[in-house]
A = this chain, B = another copy of it.
């Protein structure tokens, strides 16, 4: 296995974001790309990550390989990569060899670990609501909601996407209308509530893409997707907060 990235950012930022939700995981490397599917330890959120072969300047994988790693450890090494470094990943002696090449050549060896983990499957989810908007619009709305509460309701109806949060003191209500920036697909009024603590970690995906796709349904998992064509796809699935009435 030898993989070379001319833009380390896609791998570095993705691993940095994912490491806030997941501690240890298997990264699968095959002719399809570099892929990761993992649950957070509380079983509330799932991450689905894919870095495409077309994102690499060299992508040679003889047979599929599983890289089991500690993500905090990998993140710490990848953050040493400068934007202009050529980043190469190789495998030897049960070690992941990470090389950063510019004027100097810097090599980090990271031990692979054993993970007794059952294969994570991405659930089949169907969504009546699909919203596409600028990442910064969602970031701002989650920031607003975070000012007043710990959970936020997402509501969609034809032409309108709303976020509502209610704390002990204050209330926040954000209204986003369909326009050039925001595309809203919703047949009827649909509402569901999600944890802001998790959302704050997920909207870091805005580092990878200027747009985000938001999918949800009543009392049903939320799906956020950040994608850069031919490069990277980072999705999050977040369990709803269901009120006990």
Contacts and interface: CB of A to CB of B under 8 A. Distances in A.
Interface of A: 70, 73, 76-77, 80, 103-111, 137, 140-141, 143-144, 147-148, 169-177, 179, 181
B77 A170 contact: yes
State the number of copies, please.
Answer: 3
Contact of A107 (B106, B110, B172): B172
A16 to B, nearest CB: 14
Contacts of A172: 106-109
A69 to B, nearest CB: 11
Contacts of A108: 144, 147-148, 170-173
A41 B165 CA distance: 32
B147 A77 contact: yes
Given A169-B110, A170-B110, A140 B76 contact: no
B170 A109 contact: yes
A206 to B, nearest CB: 16
17 contacts: A77-B148, A77-B170, A80-B143, A80-B144, A103-B176, A103-B179, A103-B181, A104-B175, A104-B176, A104-B177, A106-B144, A106-B172, A106-B173, A106-B175, A107-B173, A108-B144, A108-B148
A73 B147 CA distance: 9
A70 B173 CA distance: 20
Contacts of A109: 170-173
A111 B167 CA distance: 11
Contacts of A111: 169-170
A122 to B, nearest CB: 30
B141 A174 contact: no
Contacts of A107: 172-175
Contacts of A147: 76-77, 80, 108
A108 B174 CA distance: 9
A187 B177 CA distance: 64
A224 to B, nearest CB: 17
A104 B170 contact: no
Given A143-B80, A144-B108, A147-B77, A103 B170 contact: no
A77 B103 CA distance: 39
